[in-house]
Amino acid sequence: MKQRRVGLYGGTFDPVHAGHIAVARALLELFALDEVLFIPAHVAPHKRSTVRQPASPLHRYAMLVLATMAEPRLKVSTVELDAPERPYTVETLARLRTEYGASARLFFVMGADSWADITTWREWERLLALTEQIVMTRPGYTLATGHVTDEVRRRIVDLRGRTGAEVAAALEAATGEPRIYFTDAVSSDVSATAIRQFARASEMNAAAELLVPPAVAEYIRKYRVYRNTHDSERNNVEEQPAHDD
Ligand code: ATP
């Protein structure tokens, strides 16, 4: 019997956009996943900044639900929103590993920008050992390997340019330590930052509407989600807890 395969897609999703949805759809097919679980962070720990607060978790969750409603294999998890005292990705993955059981194949999904920062994440080497990983190319970011240890680098499987059959064979062949798969199945330069800028400047005009699912554009407009906020330069910092330990 085929093992259950689940994609775990963490992020701020402020808001969810066409790039996220394209990544999830492509991975369902290419990696033969049974489902992709979007896991909105209370506040992405590695992106926490004193300057810009993300839109409320309720808004971000609602937009994710609207964006995925018609697609049964795309789901939204409240695991991090329900437990804001446990903000680290490594803790979330450990918890999901327990919930799904050892027999499920879990793939944590991230973009090339997140991969570039991975060594700043809390217990990053343990994180990379808890599940398999899928790293998606993103325009403007190179997929480097120089920042990780030899042990981690040895587990990278570069699937860029590979066909579905080749990816299937690589997944079948993988045994032992969890692999880190690089893929270029999607090339989307949409970012949440750009959408927030559009939303602030013009209340979601026609161009911006192509960058988010229609119901999300409608939601942003209706609830004026980004009208009274501003982005500032954010530095990537080591994952910090939302509270004093
Ligand atoms: P922001 O512009 O606010 O930094 P973002 O567009 O990067 O946001 P996030 O919610 O931070 O969106 O992204 C969640 C995850 O999805 C991250 O791992 C990120 O690398 C990945 N991701 C986001 N957009 C893309 C994209 N266009 N292509 C590939 N991966 C992406």
Q: Is 54 in the pocket of ligand 1 (CB under 6 A)?
A: no
Per-residue confidence band for 245, with pLDDT thresholds at 50, 70 and 90: very low
Rg of the chain (C-alpha set): 18
Among 111, 126, 106, residue whose Cα is nearest residue 8: 106
| Residue-range domain boundaries for the chain | 5-239
Instruction: List pLDDT tens digits, range 134-155.
Output: 999 999 999 999 999 999 999 9
Give distance in angstroms: CA of 10 to centre of ligand 1: 9
Return the beta strands (E) in 41-172 as ranges: 74-76, 105-111, 132-136, 156-158
Banded model confidence at residue 34, pLDDT cuts 50, 70, 90: very high
End-to-end CA distance of the chain: 44
* Ligand 1 within 6 A of CB of 139: no
20 Cβ inside 6 Å of ligand 1: yes
Closest CA relative to residue 125, chosen from 105, 97, 148, 98: 148
Considering the domain delimited by 5-239, tell me its CATH architecture. Answer: 3-Layer(aba) Sandwich (3.40)
Q: How far is the CA of 14 from the centre of ligand 1 (A)?
A: 9
Task: Establish whether residue 124 lines the binding site of ligand 1, counting it when its CB lies within 6 angstroms of any ligand atom.
Answer: no
Q: Is 212 in the pocket of ligand 1 (CB under 6 A)?
A: no
Residue 20 CA to ligand 1 centre (angstroms): 7
CA nearest 38: which of 54, 22, 50, 20? 20
What mean pLDDT comes out for the span 158-169?
97
Split at pLDDT 50, 70, 90, the class of 45 is low
Task: Give distance in angstroms: CA of 78 to centre of ligand 1.
Answer: 19
